[in-house]
Amino acid sequence: MGAFLGKLFGGLLKLVFDLVSSIGTEPENFSFYAMAIIVTTIIFKLILLPISLHQSKSTEKVNEIQPKIKEIQNKYKNDPQTQQAKIMELYKEHNYNPMSGCLIMLIQFPIIIAFFNVLRDPVTYVFKDPKVYEAISKNFFWITNLEKSDPYLWGLPLLAAITTYIQSMLMTANVQVDPQAEASQKIMNIFLPLMIFWAAKSFPAGLALYWVVGNIFQIVQQLIMNRSLGKVKEDIK
């Protein structure tokens, strides 16, 4: 499965590279390879968009029934079996599958890993011939070679961390959780960007570029969805 997806996304990246490299003269500080990574990342995110929208709808639905869940938990706090049965009845009544979030992540994970592998090993998945890959320009503004790590921590590593933090905050903005879960969520919102920063300063800059572009896409998408959700709540009031 991973090899198949790797070949699929590798072929997509090569197709995009061939298209952008045919538009004319290559800019001095912005290689066709960097353009291809950016464009392919956007296409990749568009492919995953229906899954992301389904995940957001699932989150909205659980937020709607969260007060009722808390009510059941308080009412049957001394009877765990009845509490669980009542919660499952509530899920069924509102046509909500608590496993849907996990299923969505399971679908996304192999796709993300496959695209990650494509960018980590472009010779195998994209260009096939090492000589062809070596011959192309791989610069991106201050980065002379996207197959090497960014020489500056304030560059893509910092952008990767900042965009990850913003994305995490936006994704959890409308999620209703209990105080204990909220504390864990806040820790993750800080820990994850730090982890991404550490990874981005070590991995090839092409991967960091993919991560930053993907995050920006997600941020714009989440802003639009959060705004739409806010309008719906206002209309309900």
pLDDT in tens, 136-172: 999 999 999 999 999 999 999 999 999 999 988 887 7
d(CA 16, CA 36): 6
Q: Which amino acid is at 111?
A: I
Helix axes 205-236, 179-200, angle to 10 degrees: 150
d(CA 54, CA 111): 17
Q: Give the contacts of 37 (CB within 8 A, at least 6 positions apart).
A: 13, 119, 146, 206, 209, 210, 213
Report pLDDT for 176: 58
User: If 0-12 CB within 10 Å is exposed, 13-18 middle and 19+ buried, where does residue 193 land?
Assistant: buried
Report pLDDT for 105: 63
Q: How confident is the model at residue 177 (pLDDT cuts 50, 70, 90)?
A: low
Please compute the mean of the pLDDT values over residues 84-103 and round it to a whole number.
78
Please compute the mean of the pLDDT values over residues 206-220 and round it to a whole number.
94
Closest CA to 9 of 43, 34, 52: 43
**pLDDT exceeds cutoff 80 at 4:** yes
User: Mean of the per-residue pLDDT values for the chain?
Assistant: 85
Please compute the mean of the pLDDT values over residues 202-226 and round it to a whole number.
91
Q: Model confidence over 54-80: pLDDT tens digits?
A: 777 777 777 778 888 889 988 888 888
Report pLDDT for 20: 96
Q: How confident is the model at residue 11 (pLDDT cuts 50, 70, 90)?
A: very high
Report pLDDT for 110: 84
**pLDDT exceeds cutoff 70 at 181:** no
d(CA 123, CA 205): 16
Please compute the mean of the pLDDT values over residues 106-135 and round it to a whole number.
87
Please compute the mean of the pLDDT values over residues 21-32 and round it to a whole number.
93
